């Protein structure tokens, strides 16, 4: 991690805090010495970030003059917060953290009168019963266009081994549905993630562009752009 990347990460951590966070905690999370942490704090302060606090007590960002205000309506804030909160409860560990960081960024750049909408959100969400065991593995395979080999149990409780090209995850009411091209069937297939017993990421990438595959799947399913599956 370069120093520039570290400064951005430090700023992001501070933005996400509602209460002061100690230098020792910050230095541990960034993997640097406390002395280096103090230098980074001074650098951000010199660049216009209003960081309050001191050694032994902790630090917190009171305002961030580096970022322009983000103009969103009350209902837009409610919708975004609800969506990000849902992701932060119902996906894998890494994606949950991504959602929390995104929410912290939004909180940092919206006008002060809208911050209360995030801090006292009326639209709440909680954890579901969806199986998230392989969620991160599937996300990585989709992102990197990697083939995966799965052991799958169908609705008749019959097991099969498939090599598939994962292209999308669909959140259904009772489960996550993996959309993929199945080499065995030479066609698109849908797999309930809670019926997947095993996943092995293969070394090879699938040959078609994921966006092209997704478009072909949408056409086959009769799904228009912007329409829910």
Q: Specify the pLDDT at position 65.
A: 54
DSSP-derived letter for residue 151 is E
Query: Which residue from 131, 132, 57 is spatially nearest to 95, judged by alpha carbons?
Result: 132
Neighbouring residues of 115: CB distance < 8 A, sequence distance ≥ 6: 107
> Cα–Cα distance between 145 and 90 in angstroms, integer?
23
135-221 CATH pick, 3.40.50, 2.30.30, 1.10.260, 3.30.70: 2.30.30
pTM of the model: 0.62
Per-residue pLDDT of the chain (229 residues; tens, 9 = 90+): 788 888 888 988 888 787 889 999 999 999 999 999 999 999 988 888 888 887 778 898 876 555 555 667 888 888 989 999 999 888 888 999 999 988 888 887 777 777 877 877 778 887 777 777 899 999 999 999 999 999 999 888 999 999 999 999 998 888 899 999 999 999 999 999 999 999 999 999 998 899 899 999 999 988 765 455 5
CATH class for the region spanning 3-64:
mainly alpha
- Angle, CA 78 vertex, CA 103 and CA 116 arms, to 5°: 70
Q: Specify the pLDDT at position 47.
A: 80
Residue ranges, CATH 2.30.30, the chain: 135-221
Neighbouring residues of 99: CB distance < 8 A, sequence distance ≥ 6: 84, 85, 87, 88, 91
> Cα–Cα distance between 50 and 7 in angstroms, integer?
14
Residue ranges, CATH 1.10.10.10, the chain: 3-64
> Cα–Cα distance between 55 and 59 in angstroms, integer?
8
Q: How many helices (H) and strands (E) does the chain have?
A: 8, 7
Helix (H, G, I), strand (E, B) or coil at 166: strand
> Cα–Cα distance between 44 and 13 in angstroms, integer?
13
Query: Which residue from 147, 177, 143, 141 is spatially nearest to 163, judged by alpha carbons?
Result: 147
Q: Is the dihedral of CA 121, 133, 199, 152 positive or negative?
A: negative
Contact indicator for 138, 169 with CB cutoff of 8 Å: yes
Q: Specify the pLDDT at position 70.
A: 60
* Distance in Å from the first CA to the final CA of the chain: 40
Contact indicator for 79, 118 with CB cutoff of 8 Å: no
**Any idea which residue has 């069937």 for tokens?**
185
Contact indicator for 116, 72 with CB cutoff of 8 Å: no
Helix (H, G, I), strand (E, B) or coil at 26: helix
Q: Specify the pLDDT at position 225.
A: 52
Q: Specify the pLDDT at position 66.
A: 54
Longest dimension (CA), the chain: 65
Q: Specify the pLDDT at position 27.
A: 92
């Amino acid at each position: 991690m370069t120093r520039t990347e570290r400064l951005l990460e430090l700023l992001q951590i501070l933005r996400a805090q509602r209460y002061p966070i100690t230098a020792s905690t910050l230095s541990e999370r960034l993997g640097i010495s406390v002395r280096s942490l103090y230098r980074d704090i001074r650098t951000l302060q010199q660049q216009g970030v209003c960081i309050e606090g001191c050694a032994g007590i902790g630090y917190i960002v009171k305002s961030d003059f580096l970022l322009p205000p983000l103009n969103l309506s009350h209902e837009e804030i409610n919708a975004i917060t609800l969506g990000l909160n849902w992701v932060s409860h119902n996906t894998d560990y890494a994606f949950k953290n991504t959602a929390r960081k995104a929410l912290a960024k939004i909180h940092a750049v919206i006008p002060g009168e809208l911050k209360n909408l995030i801090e006292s959100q009326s639209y709440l969400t909680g954890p579901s019963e969806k199986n998230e065991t392989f969620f991160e593995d599937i996300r990585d395979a989709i992102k990197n266009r990697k083939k995966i080999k799965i052991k799958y149990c169908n609705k008749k409780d019959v097991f099969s081994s498939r090599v598939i090209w994962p292209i999308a995850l669909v959140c259904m009411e009772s489960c996550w549905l993996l959309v993929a091209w199945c080499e065995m069937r030479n066609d698109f297939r849908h797999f309930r993630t809670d019926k997947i017993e095993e996943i092995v990421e293969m070394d090879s990438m699938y040959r078609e562009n994921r966006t092209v595959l997704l478009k072909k799947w949408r056409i086959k399913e009769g799904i228009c752009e912007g329409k829910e599956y």
